[in-house]
Amino acid sequence: MVRKQIAYELGIVISPIRVRDSVLLSANEYIIKLKGVEVGRFELFPEKLLAINSGMASEEIPGIHTKEPSFNLDAYWIDESQKEEVVNLGYTVVDSPSVFATHLSEIIKKYAHEILGSKETEMLIEGLRIKEPSLVEELTPLIFKTFEIRNVLKELLYERISIRNLPAIFEKLMELGSNEIKDIVSLVEGVRSALARQICESMKSGDGILHLIILDKNTENTLNNYTIEYGGNYTLALSPQLSQKLLDNISQALESQMMKGYNPVILCSSPLRFYFSRWILSNIPNVNVISYNEIIQEIPISADGNISV
């Protein structure tokens, strides 16, 4: 079920997940490993339900206190007889299989860019070759090698951008490559502009509006001064003081958005977007950063605040 969901949401086919028993774990404990390295761990109580406080509940409840594994939210293992009471208090109640499935799904989404290897990329290309052979033959290997295409797809997945629409991605890459554009930042930003409608739709909040926190111009100019070249690539190298101040302001703005039930989305200029996104995701996970080039006119937007330093 999880693998099908990931294929639908992100467009990558995950190989069968290997399950093994281990005497090193407690009876109800599980570990999720990626390439032999632990990336997740939790303990389930199959006979109980997990009551999760997503921010709507203020009262503590009797039960075994824990942290929900997917989003690190406060939660309690409760008896089934308590379900109606805790739901009325604002808790979300789920069973153990759902806890595990959600945890596994979030782990795969988080590390999808690492999971996408040569084998998975070849499968995607061959699948598209069946439907649009001329498009594939024109793009690879004449314009881009397979590893170059994979690098672009990995960067999209790193920001949880679905790569299901491979025809649009390949067409844009062919256009960019034909114009001798080969650097990874320009390729990623170009492909994102081709997927603008998809990106905006995926970031809309429950009210159907794209709620935005805007990085102001003066702050953008400041950040541009801290863009340096490192190992052939550019990156944001902020001073500790500036970094902390900016993180505090961003956290405050995003917390206000999320308390209203809105998705956390930051808007900035296209030249800065790639570097700013990489910087902020290394400090605050699950934040969406989009550029003005990715805004679609027919999608309603709301500018809910500014970020400045």
Residue 224 sits in a domain whose CATH number is 3.40.50.12790
Tens of pLDDT, residue by residue over 143-193, are 999 999 999 999 999 999 999 999 999 999 999 999 999 999 999 999 999
Tens of pLDDT, residue by residue over 245-258, are 999 999 999 988 98
Tens of pLDDT, residue by residue over 76-102, are 999 999 999 999 999 999 999 999 999
Of the candidate ranges 16-20, 55-59, 195-199, the one whose mean pLDDT is the lowest: 55-59
Q: Of 77, 112, 147, at which residue does a domain stop? A: 112
| Residue 202 burial by Cβ neighbours in a 10 Å radius (0-12, 13-18, 19+) | middle
If you average pLDDT over residues 96-122, what whole number do you get? Answer: 95
Q: Please indicate, yes or no, if residue 42 is contained in any of the structural domains.
A: yes
The confidence band for 232, taking pLDDT boundaries of 50, 70 and 90, is low
Tens of pLDDT, residue by residue over 287-301, are 999 999 999 989 999
Kindly state whether residues 122 and 186 are assigned to the same domain. Answer: yes
In order of 123, 124, 133, 137, 168, the CA distances from 130 in angstroms are 11, 10, 6, 11, 16
The confidence band for 214, taking pLDDT boundaries of 50, 70 and 90, is very high
Domain of 8 in residue numbering reads as: 2-112
If you average pLDDT over residues 124-147, what whole number do you get? Answer: 93
Tens of pLDDT, residue by residue over 13-25, are 888 899 999 999 9
What's the pLDDT at 18? 92
With pLDDT > 70 as the criterion, what percentage of the chain qualifies? 98
Q: Please indicate, yes or no, if residue 9 is contained in any of the structural domains.
A: yes
Could you tell me the CATH number of the domain that includes residue 26?
3.40.30.60
Kindly state whether residues 225 and 295 are assigned to the same domain. Answer: yes
Q: Of 194, 229, 252, at which residue does a domain stop? A: 194
Other Cβ atoms closer than 10 A to 289? 23
Kindly state whether residues 25 and 73 are assigned to the same domain. Answer: yes
Kindly state whether residues 12 and 46 are assigned to the same domain. Answer: yes
pTM, whole model, 2 decimals? 0.90
What's the pLDDT at 69? 95
Kindly state whether residues 171 and 188 are assigned to the same domain. Answer: yes
Separation between Cα atoms, residue 229 and residue 94, nearest integer Å: 47
Kindly state whether residues 181 and 212 are assigned to the same domain. Answer: no
Kindly state whether residues 132 and 214 are assigned to the same domain. Answer: no
Could you tell me the CATH number of the domain that includes residue 129?
1.10.8.540
Is pLDDT above 80 for 225? yes
Is pLDDT above 80 for 229? no
Is pLDDT above 70 for 231? no
Q: Of 167, 194, 221, at which residue does a domain stop? A: 194
Kindly state whether residues 240 and 165 are assigned to the same domain. Answer: no
Kindly state whether residues 243 and 178 are assigned to the same domain. Answer: no
Q: Please indicate, yes or no, if residue 124 is contained in any of the structural domains.
A: yes
Q: Please indicate, yes or no, if residue 81 is contained in any of the structural domains.
A: yes
Tokens 């550019």 locate to 234
Separation between Cα atoms, residue 122 and residue 180, nearest integer Å: 24
Q: Please indicate, yes or no, if residue 234 is contained in any of the structural domains.
A: yes
What's the pLDDT at 59? 85
What's the pLDDT at 252? 93
SS (H, E, C) the chain: CHHHHHHHHHCCCCCCCCCCCCCCCCCCEEEEEECCEEEEEEECCCCCEEEECCCCCCCCCCCEEEECCCCCCEEEEECHHHHHHHHHCCCEEECHHHHHHHHHHHHHHHCHHHHCCHHHHHHHHHHHHHHCHHHHHHHCCCCCCHHHHHHHHHHHHHCCCCCCCHHHHHHHHHHHHHCCCCCHHHHHHHHHHHCHHHHHHHHCCCCCCEEEEEECHHHHHHHHCCEEEECCEEEECCCHHHHHHHHHHHHHHHHHHHHCCCCCEEEECHHHHHHHHHHHHCCCCCCEEEEHHHCCCCCCEEEEEEECC
- Indicate the number of domains in the chain: 3
Q: Checking DSSP bridges between strand 265-268 and strand 210-215, what pairing results, if any? A: parallel
Q: Checking DSSP bridges between strand 74-78 and strand 64-67, what pairing results, if any? A: antiparallel
Contact 32, 104 (CB under 8 A): yes
Kindly state whether residues 94 and 162 are assigned to the same domain. Answer: no
- What the block records as the tokens of 100 is 């595990």
Kindly state whether residues 96 and 129 are assigned to the same domain. Answer: no
Q: Please indicate, yes or no, if residue 16 is contained in any of the structural domains.
A: yes
Average pLDDT, the chain: 92
Q: Please indicate, yes or no, if residue 56 is contained in any of the structural domains.
A: yes
Kindly state whether residues 107 and 133 are assigned to the same domain. Answer: no
Q: Please indicate, yes or no, if residue 292 is contained in any of the structural domains.
A: yes
